[in-house]
Structure 1
């Protein structure tokens, strides 16, 4: 019996993962990751790093982050508390959906996760106060390979559901797209 329902999303390789709960009067068990079950969905590398983020205020935006090859990473983003609008942008050179974004609501209640393949930027906006996210990464963070897009870049046209209440100064300073950006090549 599979503990996950996997749905293909409009951007190739991007998947919505819904976790199934097994429960009774004591509570429930929810499998967060299984290499065997998520392999067919595209998770083909070991988990190299696990990170936890806590964001206090509704309307906060974090992102749009990515790692340049050869340190590109897959991410499995899980919302453990609260709710977020999770956004992935296709940065793969030559992709028919290059610079197209897709968003999904992830929450503690809907038990959905986003499996983001290599070659995507990722960010989110909190829909509630006190959001807690658990990220699984296929590669460790490499500061020399870090990259980011500006979440407010009109060229991306990301629609955020709320006015942005908070954003780090670092995220605000991320560059806007220029014609020189031709995508990530693996």
Structure 2
């Protein structure tokens, strides 16, 4: 697998090496030692979630407060989606920066998303299924929701008609409102005990 850091520090794209034959295709979706080497610390799964979405469904932006914090390893196991990750760590040299990736079942591409970073996606096909491998179990009341249509973030979702969203996501705070309310993790909280993430210029 080929692992590359994105413009959001500590977020990595994982492209697996595919081994096709007459039966079909085989690839490794996750090898813990390779990911730990790239990220700078172990990623230990504590919970696995799936969601299934109709085409043009927009989910996110979501994150988890620190503590407990939650890193994610995200793959699309059916269909296709446009995935956006946003640096929401207050004090980060890349605060507000985002990265966009198309994930689909055929490529097996995955994303590692560290604590304190917001995540969302737009389903590009009906019956799109995403898998979240999580570093912590769900703790009620710790989820942070940011409006994915926040004008200040101006994220390039690429929809041509109004997306299908939950009422919770549609009414979520802007990033600035969440920061003012003290809901966002700081850069130090999110990266404490980890390697110093490099910041890419884009």
Q: TM-score, normalised by structure 2?
A: 0.84
- Which residue in 2 is equivalent to 1:172? 170
- Which residue in 1 is equivalent to 2:51? 53
> Structure 1 stretches (4+) deviating beyond 3 angstroms?
none
Alignment of 1:77-156 (within 5 A): 77-156=74-153
Structure 1 gaps of 5+ residues are: none
**RMSD between aligned residues:** 1.5
- Which residue in 1 is equivalent to 2:198? none
Greater strand proportion: 1
- How far does residue 41 in structure 1 lie from its aligned partner after superposition? 2.1
CA contact (8 A) 1:78 1:112 kept: yes
- Which residue in 2 is equivalent to 1:18? 15
- C-alpha distance in 2 between matches for 1:146 and 1:134: 18
CA contact (8 A) 1:60 1:164 kept: no
Distance of aligned partners of 1:105 and 1:181 in 2 relative to their CA distance in 1, 3 Å threshold: farther
- C-alpha distance in 1 between matches for 2:61 and 2:76: 17
- How far does residue 181 in structure 1 lie from its aligned partner after superposition? 5.3
Q: Deviations over 1:20-49 (max 9, x none)?
A: 222321122222222111111216231011
- How far does residue 159 in structure 1 lie from its aligned partner after superposition? 1.4
- C-alpha distance in 2 between matches for 1:63 and 1:112: 20
Q: TM-score, normalised by structure 1?
A: 0.91
Instruction: Give aligned pairs, total.
Output: 182
CA contact (8 A) 1:61 1:164 kept: no
Structure 2 gaps of 5+ residues are: 190-202
- How far does residue 59 in structure 1 lie from its aligned partner after superposition? 1.3
